[in-house]
Amino acid sequence: MTRLNQKPPAPAGRTVELEYRIRDDRVFLVAESGKMNCELVLNEVVPQSGGNLLEFVTVRDAPADSVLADALDRPDVLDARVITEDADAGLLELLVTDPELVGLVGDARAIPRLVRADRGVGHVVVEVPPGGDPQRVVAMFRERHPGSKLVARREHDGAPLFTEYVLRERVLDELTDRQREVFLTAYEMGYFDQPRRVSAVQCADYLGISQSTFSQHFRVALRKILDGLLAV
């Protein structure tokens, strides 16, 4: 192993950022980006009851429907659908049982800052908070993905990104699974864009619920999020 992999745990108060390059066709994003000669970016992960995860993935340089078809062939993908697609990119929603890279770093109490695959190569950036053990993250990557390579390790004072992550998770934890799904789906579909890319009716239709049900979940979720932020 390189010297990057042999550094001791970071001292208290220091945040460690680890950047990995991954070549492992067992990882869907990596394999699919190579097969389709495209770029796939994991935008958002929403925990679901039963331990499953709802993932929002941006597709660039390939038809979203083609990526969708391949995703549905995988045993770890329970459901998948195209949310939006235009000339520049598409957006997929995947319900998965195996969180792959996100679950790996989560088990080590690290924070994924970037999960992206481009033409068969995965790029992952994770952050280990002060007091954490970067060596555990390194060991877990080495065990799960022998073809991974640690290409950079950076340390910086404080933990602004970690604090931001904790705040975000604390606020979102106040939401039910359905409220979180409704709110984040609306966000990913462009409901908050100016001008709006989708209407409440379109969001409701996509989620398979009535507009009144969508609006109810959305308003409650928004109120909880604002309450959490304003209480800080």
Residue 167 falls within a domain, yes or no? no
In this structure, is residue 151 part of a structural domain? yes
Both 32 and 111 in a single domain?
yes
Residue 124 belongs to some domain of the structure: yes
Residues present in the chain in total: 232
- Strand blocks (E) in 86-168: 90-96, 111-118, 121-128, 149-157
Q: Is residue 182 part of a domain?
A: yes
Half-sphere exposure of 46 (CA within 13 A, CB side): 22
What's the CATH code of the domain at 197?
1.10.10
Look at residue 90 in the predicted model and tell me its pLDDT.
93
Residue 8's pLDDT is 43
**Residue 9: what pLDDT?**
46
Are residues 144 and 43 part of one domain?
yes
Domain count, the chain: 2
- Is 169 part of a structural domain of the chain? no
Q: Which of 17, 18, 4 is CA-nearest to residue 159?
A: 17
Give the pair of three-digit tokens for residue 216.
Answer: 């109810």
Q: Find, among 185, 177, 166, 178, the residue nearest to 228 by Cα.
A: 166
What does the pLDDT read at residue 131? 74
Tell me, yes or no, whether 21 lies in a domain. yes
pTM of the model: 0.73
| Predicted pLDDT of residue 6 | 38
- Per-residue pLDDT tens, the chain, 232 aa: give them: 223 333 444 445 678 899 999 998 888 999 999 999 999 999 888 777 777 888 899 999 999 999 999 999 999 899 999 998 888 899 999 999 876 666 656 556 678 888 999 999 999 998 887 777 888 888 888 888 887 899 999 987 755 554 555 566 667 778 888 898 899 889 988 899 888 889 999 999 999 999 999 999 999 999 988 887 776 5
Instruction: Mark whether 184 and 132 lie in a shared domain.
Output: no
* 73: helix, strand or coil: coil
56 belongs to a structural domain: yes
Question: In 3D, which of 225, 89, 107 has the Cα closest to residue 170?
Answer: 225
Position 222 in a domain:
yes
Burial, 100: exposed, middle or buried (Cβ in 10 Å; 0-12, 13-18, 19+)? Answer: buried
Rounded to whole angstroms, how far apart are CA atoms 196 and 219? 17
Which tokens is 73 given? 């062939």
Domain that holds residue 209: 174-230
Interatomic CA distance for residues 26 and 40, integer angstroms: 15
Q: Which of 126, 157, 188 is the last residue of a domain?
A: 157
Task: Please tell me what DSSP assigns to residue 204.
Answer: H
